Structure 1
């Protein structure tokens, strides 16, 4: 039975890139699929050329080509990413991390208790977070560029881990709103709820912008065995 050689495998990678699949992990998944399908086609029609069988195999993906596969893979890795975030988040409510969580909560709680102008506290915390995010996002962008320069490959899960743009946008919106509002918490339970919200949000920001990027290589090696070889 005819088998694909290494040159033809590389041609399949080039083919997927030419059809707007930029992430290496998604390319690899598609190349494996195409290679298996091409070899099956050769079993029945061994006279066909590599280019002919590749065209036949590609047409099976339909009018939109690889778009549906890329979309499905993106959704799957998005779920995996947030599962990782949730896993680390839960750890901060277990011993010993729960001590740090309690300290953060109490600092925020007593800030609202001791400072009469709650809007000032709210906005100060919010913009402090945004300032840290701006610096960290710049660092992550530089890390992404450095990583791509070294390997000349992009990984979809790595893109999720090193990209906190959505959180930064959310932070801006959620903390800029009080600029035009009067935030005054009158009851103890309101202060406690607001403090819990800030504590949870700070932990989420920390996990997304510091914890996951620091563990990116370990996570990617577990997800993709070939990542170790890059």
Structure 2
């Protein structure tokens, strides 16, 4: 399955094991919740079910990370910034993986987190729902100097292309539309054939791609 392929790839980049405790606090309508719910169980880790009432409260989330000894957690950039500093180094000592996606991560948010918790591995992840959780990932190291954090490189079996109106690659440095292809693509939108035809297209080489817009 697409999710299984994605889980196996992730296990090679940020492996989970019996000692890991992953917080499931994303709404089930958010695609990353699939990873929070199922990937830990597939590899022998523990899923800690978060309290829905705490989801938007940075103090409550910070307390949960410490109390439940969470080792892997996902945040949107805004919440990552709000949680930063609310945990002491000792309270966050067990954290190994922090994933961030759903919006653009700023350099300030990245630097704030890595300054406070430099032993954690902070991943910036990009991917619309139509491409199974995420399409690219980037391990932040704090050495980037731009105002935005890179979205990284494609996950295994996925590829991205910046293309022109003919769906052909543009030259380096030119502006175009980001197209995504490969193993993670959805089949389309349920009962919406016109929308599916608009966003899931075939390029001149016969490859099926998703137009991100």
The answer to whether the superposition gives a TM-score over 0.5 is no
Q: Going by fraction, where is strand more abundant, 1 or 2?
A: 2
Greater RCO (CA < 8 Å, at least 6 residues apart): 1
State the TM-score, normalized to the length of structure 1. 0.21
State the TM-score, normalized to the length of structure 2. 0.22
Q: Going by fraction, where is helix more abundant, 1 or 2?
A: 1
